[in-house]
Structure 1
Amino acid sequence: MKYFNSSLWIMLLFSVVHFTLYAQDVNPNNQNLFDNFTYRQGNEYRTASGKPGPKYWQNSADYQLDVTLDEKNHMVKGNVAIQYTNNSPEELDFIWLYLEQNRFTETSRGTLTSPLEGGRYSGDVEGGYKLSNFSAKTKTGTSSKYLISDTRMQVFLDEPLAANGGQVEIKMNFEYKIPVEGMDRMGRFEAKDGTVYAIAQWYPRVAVFDDVVGWNTDPYLGAGEFYCEYGDFDVKITAAADQTVVCSGILQNPNEVLTQIQQERLAKAEKSDKTVYIIKPDEVGKSVAQAKKKGTLTWHFKMENTRDVAWASSRAFIWDAAKMNLGNGKVGLAQSVYPKESDGEHAWGRSTEYTKASVEFHSNTYYPYPYHNAINVATSVGGMEYPGVSFCGYQRGGASLWGVTDHEFGHNWFPMIVGNNERRYPWMDEGLNIFINHYSTAAFNNGEYPTRTDKPRDLVQYLTYGNREGIDTYPDIANARNLAYTAYYKPAAGLYMLREYILGEERFDYAFKSYIRHWAYKHPQPNDFFNHIENAVGEDLSWFWKGWFFGNGNIDLGILSVEPYQGNYLITVENNGDMPMPVELLVTYNDDTKETIKLPVEIWHRGNVWSHLLKTDKQVKRVVQDPNKMIPDINILNDTWNKL
């Protein structure tokens, strides 16, 4: 035993000395590039495989809304009743609501943090809620106590709301002035035949309480959008009899608010792949378009399992519609409402065609569209999405109108179906949406309009910009000039590379659709997305998420040399960038035949230079790295080797 111990000690000592001498000639490895970068372990609520866990929960909120449109004063007045259910495993001492119309006041945090030169998220300052008749009723009693802080409202209960199913009914009356400039998300403008109202963020609504941060109470400042619970909506909107009102959901009382002819036209549109007028251009402003000559009408809508509703109203609307084929025998109704100044074959006359094509593509490609209606509204809003309703610029036409229509209706998948937190992680809806918009645009009329998502190298100017910011930058913190890249284009380009360059279509598509299916009507976090994609494709992609989504570094792959070697060729590539990537090489021989070589990302595990043995009896004439220009390599000068 003593001999064994002595011998072992001598052997270990010799090994250490030998290894120390040898290690002086070895380059450091790149493990730091491949390590995990966040706490991504699973638990009973969210699994390590990126699925909702066996004890996943989320709260719900059902809304009854009854409001009146006061055109004379440009106001919305009415009441809301919220049935809130606490499905969490802990009792709640209070409930947080959002009062997003409070953004439109002189003293709101959003106003006070808006730059003097203005911008997209500058808004009116003459709005804000007036509340009355507030109550919060549980089975144990009623409370009337609340506290308003900017765009948030803290509701205090008589006793804590019970866990695992406790309910509270919150009621109040509210009113506010509709802003003209609603931060390009809602508002009003004067068309030739009447005011067009685009109404959103229009009622007090419950904030999300989740298993990640508890109450999500980030203030509504501007760039950060929304994070909402799911529930059922019952909405009644009273307006002047000559108004046409459209809203998320299904109209419950067409016999009361539509003429017989309009009902017949809608029935025809439900069966027609071509656009059918419900209100023709020459009927706008005439009694033939009105179910009632004077007074008011109340439009009644219902929508189930949705995170929000929005609506629009005007006496200036042309209205048309067509059938949507949503797959598996399900159909819906694409609709458009727009004023005369938006009419025309090269403008909003094609809006319903665009809406139909966009929703059909996404429904049949990714996940079934859950709503019956998809309504495009011509407004002063450049482009904004809500469940089943989109607001798009009334002056748009052609490729511009297609692009914004396709983008806003694409949002019905992210974040309307997959309910991510837009206020913190806009890339999870904007970036994913821009990504899927590439494929819907390429499919529309066999590529009638161009798409640029398949050209990641277009991003190089931004990626080398000294003041660039990362995808993980919160939207209200990101510089306004950077937000389009951090939230939209860079994450979309990343997903495009992941599908087309790194994983391949079959593997990526399975994982992507699986992510949508498992997180439909739920609240995923970034790690849920990362974990789910990795598990479904069977790859550790930490190097990619860390480098592209949580870093500001760039890609710079190059060809260092191509040399004869023992009757073959040795192709040496280098990684001069900040993140690794797989390598694709196109070899052209003297006889002009070509060969593609693909090297996995693991070649960069131990260093930034790699030599590949190309076995061939031909003469190599040219080698090109990334021949299809799939990655935004910031240095094209080292991408090509030519035989001298």
Structure 2
Amino acid sequence: MNLVTRLFAGACLSAISLGAVAQTNSVYDQHETFAPLFYPAFGDEVRAADGTPGPRYWQNRADYKIEATLDDQAHGVSGNVVITYTNNSPQNLSFVWLQLDQNIYSQESRGVAATATTGGRWANRKAFDGGYNIASVTLIQDGKETPASYTVTDTRMQIRLPKELKAKGGAVQFRIHYAFPVPEYGTDRMGRQESKNGWIYEIAQWFPRLCVYDNVNGWNTLPYLGQGEFYLEYGDINYSITAPAGHVVVGSGELLNPKEVLTAEQQKRWNDASNSDKTVMLRTAAEAGSAKSATGKPLTWKFKCTNTRDVAWAASKAFIWDAAKINLPGGKKSLAMSVYPVESDGNNAWGRSTEYVKGCIEFYSKYLYPYTYPMAVNVAGIVGGMEYPGIVFCSSRATRNGLWGVTNHEFGHNWFPMIVGSDERRFPWMDEGFNTFINGLADADFNNGEYNGNRAINPEMAASSFFGDRAEAILTVPDVTQQYNLGTVAYYKPGFGLKLLRENILGKERFDSAFRYYVHQWAFKHPTPWDFFHCIENAAGENLEWFWRGWFMNKWKIDLAVTDVAAIQNDPSKGSSITIATLEKLPMPVTIEVKEANGKTGRITLPVEVWQHGAVWKFNYASTDKVVSVVVDPDKTIPDVNLKNNTWTAP
């Protein structure tokens, strides 16, 4: 039987041995690690010092009404959008900025110019030359439309207003007529794929969208270059898609006119699925591509998505379509559904997709915040994995644990950044990293752990990735991050950082409470990194500046070591003196396992504050026999760059 002891203070902790410092060759400096000035500014009435929205927090609003048509012969989308923009800021605005993300597909775009000759994930392939064709931009006032003054610069449009948009609730409305060709490969975010029964269209970034105006940067107008994702305002989006005969259209939000676009049999199956925990077929493999499963004329599919930052949709004649009920907290329901071609069918592939959608959404709804959309749609197509509110695009080739993994990840994004609306174009770790962390929890939960460990990271391997010679800091703009580092910087290292907070620093209960508090405080709002740091500290009751500074802001390494073990007064029955050290710049709380010759094993945990005194810490351990081994981080949960010095064994 193991003897587990926890010693934090009192007689078992002794003064530090200053003479040992010179022997460690440590680069650690407690004055830098625990420096008093970390936050760039004090809290105010907009963003409070406790990390929550202040009493005068504001954000602007963008509502959209869109009418669009899919042309499956020319492979294009055309339409018009009426945008109602509400200025809740304390400033009058003389112009507004919009994002025109489709312009990245123009051969004249900055995205193309900034793509290496070797190509890459974000390259514009096959010399495709696309982008928006803006037919007109008009202001709508008193029911009349007048031409607007506007300028397009790469992936942005500025509309100059004839009179200032009033602060604290002033609104302006304008209409934009536009069209664009759909690329086959849309920088891994949208596109089209040919299948046995027809083309699959995955359509996103498909209408001009307002840039965020906030109290941090004013207008957020970073260009869209591919690697950086999105920062968008919330609002209600009503949209209609007119698709050719035979197409099934799925999209973000609620389908408003099922009786107009579904056959009577599909309506019955839809109702059955809405009450079933098991997957119900809405359109079978035998019906995919068949005129019998759809009307023989073009149809207009109408959707509404409320309190959302974006919408996306997909259409195809080739879709198999299935669905099942999602059970949400408080007795609420939603509908999980999947669309995929016959090539992707099967119980080892997309035949289980809806089960996966249902499983991960039910978990995240309990762990963090209830899912907020009436439907959750998984689309199989050319896109490897991309998220939008209420709908995700995943590879049609994904199978088994790969399909679970990408489905789980993309739907996890409905919490970060769809609910917690962070700035992805500057801080991808606030959505990708947080999402990667919760994905691991869902892996362990789904189907009694069927895919537990699906994305587990070995700490020893993580250390070489996180702290290698080519490593970059987490707080790096995504378009500056080297492509070979993106997975580490945006996904795995920040995700692992939350795991360290939960398991090594705060404990599961305290972390989960603080993390949930952050989500609820910033739901449908725009937090900054400083808001997140403040919020976790205040909710957990812990100063974590040392960890934010080392793990997120810098590339500090971790190297814990056992440097000396000696019997007190040369008599092990009187206890042992153990010396440990932190040799790199980032310290950690330390768990130490001690084994004695009599077979006893004990553990103690020391808080990070022991490192406030320097690079070396000496403490007394209440042994009763000769100590035969001492190990720091015995469970190997910390990405330590040198495991060889983690263990001391008696000579």
Is the pair's TM-score, using the shorter chain for normalization, greater than 0.5? yes
Secondary structure at the counterpart of residue 412 of structure 1 = coil
**Residue 158 (structure 1) aligned with residue 162 (structure 2):** yes
Distance 1:324 1:141 in 2: 44
> In structure 2, what is the equivalent of residue 375 of structure 1?
377
Please identify, of 560-569 and 215-224, the stretch whose mean Cα deviation from structure 2 is larger: 560-569
| Paired residues of 1:185 and 1:383 also in contact (CA < 8 A) | yes
Question: 1:116 aligned to 2:117?
Answer: yes
* Deviations, residues 376-423 of structure 1 (Å, cap 9, x unaligned): 000100000000000000000001000000000000000000000000
Output one character per residue of 1:566-604: Cα deviation in whole Å (capped at 9) or x when no partner. 421111001111111111101122232221111111111
TM-aligned CA deviation for residue 328 of structure 1: 1.1
AA aligned opposite 1:212: V
Structure 1 residues 151-550: aligned runs within 5 Å: 151-290=155-294, 292-293=295-296, 295-449=297-451, 450-453=453-456, 455-550=458-553
Cα distance in 2 for partners of 1:26, 1:77 equals 70
Pick closer, same or farther for the CA change 1:356–1:636 going to 2, 3 Å: same
SS at match of 1:288: helix
Matched, 1:58 2:59: yes
CA deviations 1:409-455 (Å, max 9, x no partner) are 00000000000000000000000000000000011122212334463
Q: Within 1, Cα distance between the matches of 2:20 and 2:446?
A: 57
After TM superposition, the structure 1 stretch with the greater mean CA deviation from structure 2, 457-466 or 135-144, is: 135-144
Identity of aligned residues (%): 50
Cα RMSD between the aligned structures?
Answer: 1.6
CA distance in 1 between counterparts of 2:107 and 2:192 reads: 19
Distance 1:142 1:560, change over 3 A: same
1:315-374 CA deviation, whole Å, 9 max, x = no partner? 000000001111110111100000000001101000001110010100111111011111
Cα distance between partner residues in 1 of 2:352 and 2:338: 9
Q: Does 1:607 align with 2:609?
A: no
1:620 CA drift (Å): 1.9
1:142 shift after superposition = 5.0
The alpha-carbon distance between structure 1 residues 327 and 68, as it changes in their structure 2 partners (threshold 3 A), is: same
Instruction: Decide whether aligned partners of structure 1 residues 113 and 591 sit closer, same or farther in structure 2, where only a CA change above 3 A counts.
Output: same
CA contact (8 A) 1:136 1:155 kept: no
Q: 2: CA distance between counterparts of 1:26 and 1:189?
A: 63
Q: Equivalent residue for 2:579?
A: 572
SS at match of 2:324: strand
**In structure 2, what residue type is equivalent to 1:379?**
G
Alpha carbons 2:21, 2:616 under 8 Å: kept: no
- Which 10-residue stretch deviates more, 317-326 or 455-464? 455-464
Select the structure with the greater relative contact order (CA < 8 A; seq sep ≥ 6): 2
CA deviation after TM superposition for structure 1 residue 283, in Å:
0.8
Structure 1: how far apart are the matches of 2:456 and 2:589? 20
Distance 2:145 2:325 in 1: 49
- AA aligned opposite 1:257: V
Aligned to 2:13: none
CA contact 1:137–1:143 (8 Å) conserved in 2: no
Q: CA separation in 1, counterparts of 2:456 and 2:61? A: 36
Q: Distance in 1 between matches of 2:140 and 2:291?
A: 45
SS of the aligned residue for 1:602 comes to helix
Give the distance between the partners of 1:381 and 1:216, measured in 2 at CA. Answer: 27
Distance 1:588 1:255, change over 3 A: same
Cross-structure match for 2:4: none
Question: CA–CA distance in 1 between the matches of 2:21 and 2:519?
Answer: 45
**Distance in structure 2 (CA, Å) of the matches to 1:25 and 1:315:** 73
Q: What SS does structure 2 have at the residue aligned with 1:413? A: coil
Equivalent AA in structure 2 for residue 349 of structure 1: G
Decide whether the 8 Å contact of 2:467 with 2:556 is kept in 1: no
Where do 1:10-29 residues align within 5 Å? none
Tell me which moved more, 597-606 or 274-283. 597-606
Task: Return the alpha-carbon distance in structure 2 between the equivalents of residues 92 and 429 of structure 1.
Answer: 30
Counterpart CA distance in 2 for 1:614 and 1:136 is: 76
Q: Tell me the secondary structure at the aligned position of residue 638 of structure 1.
A: helix
Q: Which runs of 5+ in 2 are unaligned?
A: 1-17, 23-27
2-structure distance, mates of 1:563, 1:514:
46
State how far apart, in whole Å, the 1-side matches of 2:584 and 2:99 are.
44
Distance 1:240 1:141 in 2: 30
Aligned partners of 1:611 and 1:451: how far apart in 2?
Answer: 40
Letter in 2 for 1:268: D
Is 1:127 aligned to residue 167 of structure 2? Answer: no
Between 597-606 and 492-501, report the one with greater CA deviation: 597-606
Alpha carbons 2:467, 2:555 under 8 Å: kept = no
* Aligned counterparts of 2:196 and 2:145: Cα–Cα separation in 1: 52
Match of 1:632 in 2: 639
Q: Distance in 2 between matches of 1:25 and 1:613?
A: 16
CA–CA separation in structure 2 for the residues paired with 1:511 and 1:587 = 33
Show the 5 A alignment for 1:10-89.
30-35=30-35, 36-89=37-90
The whole-number CA distance in structure 2 between the counterparts of 1:142 and 1:47 is 42
Aligned partner of 1:137 among 128, 136, 140: 140
Q: What's the secondary structure of 1:283's corresponding residue? A: coil
- Three-state SS of the structure 1 residue aligned to 2:416 is helix
CA contact (8 A) 2:424 2:430 kept: yes
Match of 1:148 among 148, 152, 156: 152
In the alignment, the residues of structure 2 paired with residue 81 and residue 588 of structure 1 have an alpha-carbon distance, to the nearest angstrom, of 71
If the length of structure 2 is used for normalisation, what is the TM-score? 0.93
Structure 1 counterpart of 2:328, which letter?
Answer: L
Deviations 1:606-638 (A, max 9, x none): 210110111232332221110111110000001
SS of the equivalent of 1:97 reads strand
After TM superposition, list the pairs within 5 Å mapping 1:544-563 onto structure 2.
544-563=547-566
CA contact (8 A) 1:40 1:527 kept: no
1:76-132 CA-partner distances (Å, limit 9, x unpaired):
011000000000000001000001000001110000000111111012431111112
Provide the secondary structure at the position in 2 that maps to 1:461.
Answer: helix
User: 2:100 is matched by which residue type in structure 1?
Assistant: L
**1:399–1:99: structure 2 CA closer, same or farther, 3 Å change rule?**
same
Q: Per the alignment, in what secondary structure is the counterpart of residue 424 of structure 2?
A: coil
Count matched residues. 620
The one-letter code matched in structure 2 to 1:115 is A
State how far apart, in whole Å, the 2-side matches of 1:593 and 1:40 are.
Answer: 51
CA distance in 1, matches of 2:599, 2:20: 41
The 3 A distance-change label for structure 1 pair 492 and 91 is same
1:92 and 2:96 are equivalent in the alignment: no
Provide the C-alpha distance between the structure 1 equivalents of 2:580 and 2:19, rounded to a whole number of angstroms: 23
- Which has the higher mean CA deviation after the structures are superposed, 233-242 or 520-529? 233-242
Query: Which of residues 587, 591, 595 is equivalent to 1:584?
Result: 591
